[in-house]
Amino acid sequence: MKSVLSAQYGFFRPYVRSVIYRFLDYGILHNGFARVRCGECGHEYLLAFSCKRRHFCPSCHQKRVMEFGEWLCKEVLKAVPHRHFVFSIPKILRRYFLYDRKLLSELSHCAWETLKEFFQEIVPVPEEDAVSGAVVAIHSFGDFLGWHHHLHILCTDGCFYGSGMFRVAPLFELKHLEAIFRHKVFKMLL
């Protein structure tokens, strides 16, 4: 059974086992807790520690998503227009990424270089040092939790140049963007 699952989903990484066991220990007072006491009425109760794992535990994951989103809005993103891009690859190539997870960071790099190059081509700015900004999130699953890695990218809808100036990108077709990405992915894999 293990070899059948391994062939379809890749090897069972040791990290996965620790995530599952931490999740199973979640909410059990014996595994650690905090005493919570109301300063006004004196009511108190014990609050079990969470597993603090993302993706597997819905409540811990949601907390981390909210904290990350708040941090992005306050500390990272500038008050300029943004676009959401999703970069994916054909099913026939996904198996390579299943067995070599380091390729996912290379895929992320290909997508970033694609967007940077694309926006530098289409945004008319007076200087050569124009650059867009982006946040990349690697997802390794699809709608039914099957192996379908893809990238969600929140990117500035234009380029920064000079000393913080910003120029919005004109309307564009995605065909050229797709061609640049395809070329970079094949170059990376070959």
pLDDT in tens, 42-59: 999 888 777 666 666 677
Residue 27 pLDDT class (50, 70, 90 cuts) = confident
For residue 6, which of 99, 103, 90, 97 has the smallest C-alpha distance?
Answer: 99
Separation between Cα atoms, residue 83 and residue 64, nearest integer Å: 23
For residue 56, which of 86, 82, 20, 30 has the smallest C-alpha distance?
Answer: 20
Which pLDDT score, from 0 to 100, does residue 53 have? 65
Residue 158 in contact with residue 171, Cβ under 8 Å? Answer: no
Tokens at 107, concatenated: 């895929």
CA angle, residues 117, 122, 126, in degrees to nearest 5: 95
Pairing verdict, β 147-156 and 134-141 = antiparallel
> Is residue 1's pLDDT more than 60?
no
Separation between Cα atoms, residue 101 and residue 149, nearest integer Å: 10
Q: Hey, CA dihedral for 2, 8, 10, 14, is it positive or negative?
A: negative
Q: Kindly list the structural domains of the chain, giving each domain's residue range(s) and its CATH number in brackets, ordered by start.
A: 1-76 (no CATH), 79-190 (3.30.70)
pLDDT in tens, 124-155: 887 778 889 999 998 877 666 667 788 999 99
Which pLDDT score, from 0 to 100, does residue 5 have? 63
